Amino acid sequence: MLTSQENITPSVSEAGRKDAGFSLLELMVVVVILSILALVIAPRIIDRPDQARVARVQSDLAVIQSAVKLYRLDNFRYPTTEQGLRALVSRPSSEPVPRNWAENGYIDRMPVDPWGNEYQYLSPGVHGEFDVFTLGADGVTGGSGADADLGTWTLE
């Protein structure tokens, strides 16, 4: 006859199954699979920040280009190189002073490029009536890749 104590205590084989975990071999297989995934996926992710910065520059350039064109519609001329892109945010005081400058400006604030530099402006431009551009990550004219100059002439 079994006592109540004998029914409650699990056998050794049952306790062994409850404490069973992953074997070293199973853990190694998981580590190898994760390593292979990292080798395949990581190179694709690493290039993304540069692509994102270029996309942001193109977006900023399109906004600034539209604001410069609105300025011209109101004032019959583009801001001068000396007035610069500041003319889109606050009324220029240097000649030629715009007569029909929009009360709230043409853009809320002047964006900076993804590398923390101000966008450059030339009027007349080298590539058109005006040029808005950034010198890229290195801040120097020319370059390739992330260091390449990007401007309104590169917009698609």
CATH no. for 50-154: 3.30.700.10
The CA-to-CA distance between both ends of the chain, in Å, stands at 89
How far apart CA 84 and CA 68 sit, in angstroms, is 10
How far apart CA 119 and CA 84 sit, in angstroms, is 10
User: Taking the domains of the chain in order of start, what are their residue ranges?
Assistant: 50-154
Residue-wise pLDDT for 137-147, tens only, equals 888 888 787 77
Q: Is the peptide bond between 98 and the residue preceding it cis, with omega within 30 degrees of 0?
A: no
Instruction: Count H helices and E strands in the chain, helices first.
Output: 4, 3
| pLDDT recorded at residue 90 | 93
How much is the pTM? Answer: 0.68
CA distances in angstroms from 26 to 4, 17, 82, listed in the order given: 40, 17, 68
